[in-house]
Amino acid sequence: MAHLSAAQAPGETVANPLTLSFSPPCGLRGDFLPGVPHPERVAVACDGQVLATVAVHAGASGASFTCDLPPVAAPTQVRVEVRDAGRMLGGLTVTNLPKRNLGGLDALSVHKVCDRPLFSVPWMQFDGAILTVSGAHLPPAGNPDLLSVQFDEGVRYTFDHGLRSPEFANHFWYWPNADLSNFVLTIDLAGSRPGCDPFRFEFRYPGEEKGLGDVPAPLRRIGQRISIPSDLALTVCFPRDATQLTRVQTWSNDQSVTFTGYSTFRAIEALFAHYGVTPGPGVEILDWGCGHGRVTRHFIGQWREARISGADIDAENVAWCSENLRGRFTTVPLFPPTDLPDASFDGIFGISVMTHLTEEAQAAWLDEIARLLKPDGIALITFAGAAAAAFSSVFRPDPWWRDWVARGFDDAQHDPALDGKIGDDDYYRTTVQTTQYTIEHWSKHVDVVGVIPHAIGYQDMAVLRRRR
């Protein structure tokens, strides 16, 4: 059971008449006396690590703030401190918080590995004039007020955010105020200025570029950019087999697959452009692990002069693509080589494929990707890194987490999505790896030009070239 214990130690509150209180399981509240000046926002730290920056709201009986602390670290107690621009306003020692998940993993260990706020934007609805986009975005530094979206000038929209999100709160158990993650974005197409682009926006918040110093400046926000398909007819064509959709994305419907596929296409296109791969006659692109063409279809539709190919180990989905999409589709074996010719592709992308492979299979496919790339070609290959580990942390026991952080790689978990569909039911895994591991091990096979954290959803992107 979680209980409040302890109170402020004498002399801890500096000058400000701030009263802190705590209600189990996680609720921290601070009250300033009426009529006394108070900061607009305060920083909340647990055991010295600032977790949240929350707004102070003025009311008739004085100003106050609330903050749902995540379950916190330390074996028996945590020190909570409230600060204003580094100045201590108050402190409180809380014991017996639900500080760990069921596997004994503490929240601060997860937060240390991934302190970027994750988001998911699966829903889109259009009624002829108003486009509604909804999803969830973890409050940056625990504060929904810090989040905004940016559109082209002239776009008319409203952004309701900081809405209750019990599911996100459960999943992102380590994040402060994760239960205030939901948003609804309402875009008034008819009311927007002609010529502006209401189909793209990006999330913005202070500190968004923290830790991205090695990433080229134009690519730093690539993962925060959402692109909406303006041609809603794109949604109509998907496999109707019960599992053909869901074994590509664990949770699916036509609309979300269209939306995420299109947004991913735009991100890959921007990355390719940055590295010199643009549409044109004779340009060859390979979607490695194409599934049912969630992303491939947009290359086929938009890069009309290029030759677009898809390859997958899932013969049923490859057959569906061959019948329903223009483009060349090939079933490939679980381990290379493939029949595809040497040095034939300007660009290869692989979304959420390495995330399912063992160490041995990753190594073999990196060699194959190097063989298939033209000398100046570029490969964009995602892997499940820190954000993916944080996303699944609710299920991870503490020993697993420690081992993973130390070793940097885990491919032990079986993923049943392709059971019965490929020759070896032991092949498909849920693989999670750190950036450090990825650079060190993948560099034995290819040049790792860079890594872009959170480039595609919760996955990181490795930018690869043939070794020179």
Ligand X SMILES: C[S@@+](CC[C@H](N)C(=O)[O-])C[C@H]1O[C@@H](n2cnc3c(N)ncnc32)[C@H](O)[C@@H]1O
Q: Interface with ligand X by CB under 6 A: which residues?
A: 248, 288-291, 294-295, 311-314, 317, 332, 351-353, 356, 365, 418
* Per-residue tokens: 201: 């926006």
Q: Cβ 289 to ligand X, closest distance in Å? A: 3
Closest CA to 25 of 170, 146, 123, 126: 170
For 345, the 3-state DSSP assignment is strand
* Nearest residue to ligand X on Cβ basis: 289
Q: Cβ 445 to ligand X, closest distance in Å? A: 14
Q: Cβ 50 to ligand X, closest distance in Å? A: 35
How would DSSP label each residue in 201-234?
EEEE-TTTTTT-TTS-GGGTTGGGEEE--S-GGG
Q: Cβ 127 to ligand X, closest distance in Å? A: 28
Other Cβ atoms closer than 10 A to 222 = 21
Q: How far is CA 276 from CA 43, 372, 376, 377, 461, in A?
A: 43, 17, 9, 9, 17
* Per-residue tokens: 136: 């969830």
357 — phi, psi (to 5°)?
-110, 150
Residue with smaller CB distance to ligand X, 19 or 430? 430
The total number of residues written for the chain in this structure: 468
Quote the DSSP letter at residue 280.
-
Q: Cβ 429 to ligand X, closest distance in Å? A: 10
Q: Cβ 364 to ligand X, closest distance in Å? A: 8
The whole-angstrom separation of Cα 443 and Cα 300 is 31
Residue with smaller CB distance to ligand X, 150 or 253? 253
Residue with smaller CB distance to ligand X, 248 or 325? 248
Q: Which residues contact 304 (CB under 8 A, 6 or more apart)?
A: 279
Other Cβ atoms closer than 10 A to 425 = 12
- Cis preceding-peptide flag for 39 (omega within 30 of 0): no
Residue with smaller CB distance to ligand X, 221 or 421? 421
Q: Are 355 and 431 in contact (CB under 8 A)?
A: yes
Q: Residue for token digits 């379950």?
A: 71
Amino acid occupying residue 27: G
Residue with smaller CB distance to ligand X, 20 or 318? 318
Residue with smaller CB distance to ligand X, 83 or 294? 294
Q: Cβ 411 to ligand X, closest distance in Å? A: 12
Residue with smaller CB distance to ligand X, 82 or 271? 271
Q: Cβ 294 to ligand X, closest distance in Å? A: 3
Residue with smaller CB distance to ligand X, 85 or 242? 242
Q: How far is CA 142 from CA 67, 84, 178, 220, in A?
A: 8, 15, 7, 22
The whole-angstrom separation of Cα 403 and Cα 417 is 26
Q: Cβ 326 to ligand X, closest distance in Å? A: 18
Residue with smaller CB distance to ligand X, 205 or 299? 299
For 114, the 3-state DSSP assignment is coil
The whole-angstrom separation of Cα 217 and Cα 203 is 16
Q: Cβ 36 to ligand X, closest distance in Å? A: 54
The whole-angstrom separation of Cα 174 and Cα 148 is 22
Residue with smaller CB distance to ligand X, 32 or 365? 365
The whole-angstrom separation of Cα 254 and Cα 211 is 35
The whole-angstrom separation of Cα 431 and Cα 270 is 26
Residue with smaller CB distance to ligand X, 209 or 425? 425
Q: Where are the alpha helices (DSSP H) in 232-325?
A: 242-246, 254-274, 296-302, 315-324
Q: Cβ 207 to ligand X, closest distance in Å? A: 29
